A and B are shown apart, each in its own frame.
Chain A
Amino acid sequence: MPGAIGTKRIGILLAKAGILWAFLGLFIILSILSPAFITPNNLMNVVKQMSVNGIMGIAMTFVLILGGIDLSVGSLIALTSVCAAFFARQSLELPLIVPIAVSLLVGVAAGAINGFGIAYVGISPFIMTLAMMSCLRGLAQVLSNGTPIFGLSKQFNGIANGFVLGIPNLVYFLVVILIIGIFVLRKTVFGKWVYAIGGNEVSARLSGINTRWIKVVVYMSSGLLAGVCGVLMASRITSGSPIIGVGYELNAISAAVIGGVSMSGGTGNLLGTLVGALIMGVIQNGLDILGVSAFYQQIIQGLIIMVAVFLDIKSKSRI
């Protein structure tokens, strides 16, 4: 019956755009409640503040679609920030590429360990990355001797704190990574295989896909992006610190889930995650401006996740 099919399609579109409506609604409400919210300066601030979460959300989206999870990214960000800071110190006078390369390599290595443990040894992603969360945090403390590393070069500090054409560098990083991520997920064979494995791993393997290798690559990518965030964080706070990044993995998961990524794998997309991260950023910023205490903000953050998932379940059951 064409009529039934037509309404189904509109229903699906509305459901998918649901978070977008939510975001716009939020935006409008906050703008009304506080004129300070809608200034270009503040809006730039919002995007700047959610960039790191946005980047980790992108990484987490790949991992979740694959059917896995990565709880170690927060600790990995701390570790890579320490590594980057160590080589970015003014006193060492090393070229900028060195701290960046080191941070990325450490990130990829940690991701590879995660991937190997999960795909080849068979440890469940939750357990493996939980264990690594602890190991990496400890390693960060050991390498930094428990104290932040200061005295970084001006060049390095400029990475995250600079502006190009009036837009903060952090935003560029987010946008570029987002574009690359969307391209890989939607347009490459690799991206298709990630969806396939998350949808049904056995069937993917029986179709000739090298599932283990793909898993390793995805976790390595998550580690790589954590390395990027390590550099960005160290640059932003002009120090490498072993205590940053706590809870970042949960924020990344929240952004993805609000954006419609399923925890059981096989579905989701990056634009959704972006909107999810924006929602989180906007709420935090808006509530800050309105003077709402951080504790209430935490409660609201949790409620948003529940509402988002609830709406997702409802939209799926109707179809």
Chain B
Amino acid sequence: MTRVLEMKGIVKSFSGQIVLHSVDFEVMEGEVHALIGENGAGKSTLMKILMGEFPCDKGEILLRSAPIGVVSPAAALNLGIAMIHQELSPVPDMNIAENIFLGREPNRFGVVNTRKQENQTAELLSSLGLGFDPRMKMRDLSVAATQLVETAKAISYNSRILIMDEPTSAINEAEVRKLFDMIRLLRSRGVAVIYISHKIDELFEIADRATILRDGRRVAGGQMKELTRQQLISLMVGRELTEVFPKVNATVGDVVMTVRGLTRRHEFRDVSFDLHAGEILGIGGLMGAGRTEIVSTIFGERRPDAGEVRVRGRALAAGSTREAVQRRIAFVPEDRKNLGLNLSGSVADNLSIVVEGRLSNAGVVRKRTVEKAVDRMIATLSIKVESRNQRVGTLSGGNQQKVVLGKWLLSEPDVVILDEPTRGIDVGAKAEIYRLIGQLAASGKAVLMISSEMPEIMGLCDRVIVLHGGALIGELSRAELSQENLMTLASGMN
């Protein structure tokens, strides 16, 4: 196999902080190469340098043994390097064909040849096993579909090197299969795929070789089949991680919340369940089964068409988040950046936002009281910040999630709803969040958790209710929890 890419001695620093310490990275033609590391290890930075978003301070990049300078993303594309980003950003009001050909529209003297564009798009999509209509507007596509379209777009550049950054973060099992088929197809065509992901199981399934980064240094590399999961995690984290999940020792108490017959047309119907103090109730199901829709309705973000929610026996008024918060319900959304945080605000602002009113003196903020509460929470959750006034937008994903959790913990809720609490968070921070979730239950709170990660569900939940196509299809106790049982129910089979 020939070496298609070699990055030698890459050094990069931002504002005086060295982010990459002389990193070496090489990829062979026709292989799937996993780039592994915790958040902040330097993977994204390394790839951004490769993609021409900014130059490195020192080092060189060789494409098929010839040195190259990648001065811009356009130059990277021309050299045959394409990337599918973790943060998808299509143009929502344009259709699939327009997005895929953005910047290189087939045209006759500047006039876009729409038919050609749509035909070529249709061909591309079908060659990859995707059945979307090229004329569908991007804003009408689900997150999963958008990701698949972005993947198709990157592939269409006929690149020899394809970088995939967390490609499965928002797609379900069936779509992951499709994606992997696409990747194997590309591999057979000699394309090198650089695969970045936190999902260890996936890496073992699809990757041939791996390079592991830690704190901006390359710490190891080699064939995937020569590594074990344990080794991989310890190399990433730099320490032995024997216990990722806390010992669940909470006593399950009384019913705190009851949901009866909750229905929203086209989203979910007749959902009923009880939630007890001290328990962690998981909501399982495939993407699109209606899980997020249900919890956001319970929290008052949307109104149900039928059904009711009772908290401690008293009915909860529908359609008001303010009411939900007053009744001591907390909601940690899946999309923490857009729904859970004020990125331009400080850590202190974000942490205190729910309890600001409660901690005030007739509407006047009691600065010391708030500061003390904020500092206590930062310490309790071990949030890594320079100061409480640091802008939340500058924190890592794991620390941002801790801020979201922290703001709710300060409000001392009875019910805590978590939607994909560890999405986009590295292994080290995940363990801390699991510990916190365990503590929530141990302190008597009722926890309702949506998760698509099997290990999470199996490690944390006391019970799991499974949704399929908007209906509650079954329930599994801790004893009955297994990968097969969950998948069976989630796929609609009883």
Binding site for B on A (CB under 8 A): 1, 3-5, 7-8, 187-193, 195-196, 199-200, 202-210, 266-267
Contact = CB atoms under 8 A, between A and B. Distances in A.
A192 B339 contact: no
Interface string B118-140: 00000000000000000000000
Contacts of B475: none
B322 A206 contact: no
B342 A5 contact: no
Contacts of A203: 338-342
Contacts of A199: 342-345, 349
Given A1-B17, A5-B386, A192-B365, A206 B349 contact: no
Given A4-B16, A208-B324, 10 more contacts: A188-B360, A189-B363, A196-B342, A199-B345, A200-B342, A202-B339, A204-B342, A207-B407, A208-B325, A267-B344
B16 A1 contact: yes
A191 to B, nearest CB: 8
B333 interface: yes
B331 A206 contact: yes
B353 A206 contact: no
A192 B357 CA distance: 10
B228 interface: no
Contact of B16 (A3, A191, A200, A205): A3
B62 interface: no
Interface residues of B, number: 33
A202 B337 CA distance: 10
25 contacts: A5-B386, A7-B16, A8-B15, A187-B364, A187-B367, A188-B363, A189-B365, A191-B365, A192-B365, A193-B356, A195-B342, A196-B342, A199-B343, A202-B338, A202-B339, A204-B342, A205-B321, A206-B299, A206-B340, A207-B321, A207-B353, A207-B407, A208-B325, A209-B353, A210-B322
B344 A266 contact: yes
A199 B392 CA distance: 11
A208 B17 contact: no
A209 B322 contact: yes
The DSSP consensus for interface residues of chain B is loop
Chain A contact residues: helix, strand, loop or mixed? helix
Nearest to B325: A208
A187, A195, A200, A210 — most chain B CB neighbours (10 Å): A200
Interface in B399-423: 407
B354 interface: yes
Contacts of B365: 187-189, 191-192
Contacts of B363: 188-190
A192 B353 contact: yes
A5 B322 CA distance: 39
A210 B325 CA distance: 11
A209 B386 CA distance: 28
B301 interface: yes
Q: Which of A189, A192, A267 has its CB near the most chain B CB atoms (within 10 A)?
A: A189
B321 A200 contact: no
A222 B301 CA distance: 29
Given A188-B363, A204-B353, A196 B16 contact: no
